A and B are shown apart, each in its own frame.
Chain A
Amino acid sequence: MPHVSLKAEKIFEVFGFPVTNSYLTSLIVLILLSLAFLHYNSQIKSGLKKKSKFFYLIHFINESLYHFFNTILGDQTKIAYPLVASFFIYILVQNWFGLLPGIGSLLIKTCHAGECHSIPLFRGATADLNTTIGLGMLSVLLCQVYGVRALGAKEYIKKFYNLKNPISFFIGTLEILSEFSKVFSFGFRLFGNIFAGEVLLVVIAFLVPVLASFPFLLLELFVGFIQAVVFATLTAVFINLAMSKQH
């Protein structure tokens, strides 16, 4: 059995800032995604009649996403669509990138205080709790921002602090707690699914060496997609709730 590590491992340091293997992978994905979107943008701006095939692929994804989120967000689609779509695409690509051959299997040797061990050079970014908790925090924080923007600060705080009667005051306190627990539920859901998938693939590969992990690989593709959908949809639902008036 190979060693399974719960946390991402440090590869090298830049000015005392540790660079982990998950961070390396997420940087690669970030650069690739930025290049793709820059291409998309330049194709739109160029005004050519016939655009590249890659443009139409991204355009198709973008359009289907817009229709999907339109059914959830309704009138707020124009405001919240950029955020939820970026969440979806970013998480989806990160999940799938972690399944590529070489991610997690390329090992490098690091020596730390006389002790040498080999660690994977790349590791799926969403298989690291830091990434997922960070995404969850961003999502919950932006929910508050969108809520305040749509309703105004006074109206928005009324959702949590209601002094009309003791029951609604108590419920308001629970609401504040639930905002914090959302961060952890976002983070652990994504991290757990992706990390458990990686452990599953490793275990199956060591049980039956040939071909047995193939159906599980397909399952992981599906899980990665579903988790991206769930994250983006939940964000959309929470934004919709935050922007709607209290009744």
Chain B
Amino acid sequence: MDLATAKTVAISFMMAFGVAFPALAIGMIGKSAMEAIGRNPEAESGIRTTMILVVAFAEAIAIYVLVAALILKFT
């Protein structure tokens, strides 16, 4: 396996594993937010704001992986 192939394989695996776990995390955040809204519908707006904030945190982890992959790809 030469360097270019190894790089491509590395990028693919990195994206696959690096995106799987934040996706799981975002799903869990959404689930618990739904449950909270179901239990307490008056607090919906507050819960939604907090949920979007926390989802952005979880997404940031996927973005770190993406940045590393982009650096590998374009340098």
A residues lining the B interface (CB < 8 Å): 4-6, 71, 185, 188-189, 191-193, 195-196, 199, 226-227, 229-230, 233
Contact = CB atoms under 8 A, between A and B. Distances in A.
A226 B52 contact: yes
Contact of A6 (B46, B64, B75): B75
A191 B66 CA distance: 11
B73 to A, nearest CB: 8
Contacts of B67: 188, 191-192, 195-196
A5 B66 contact: no
Contact of B66 (A71, A185, A192, A229): A192
A199 B15 CA distance: 15
Nearest to B66: A196
A230 B66 contact: no
B60 A189 contact: yes
B53 A233 contact: yes
Given A6-B71, A71-B46, 10 more contacts: A5-B74, A188-B60, A191-B67, A193-B59, A195-B67, A226-B56, A229-B52, A230-B53, A230-B56, A233-B53
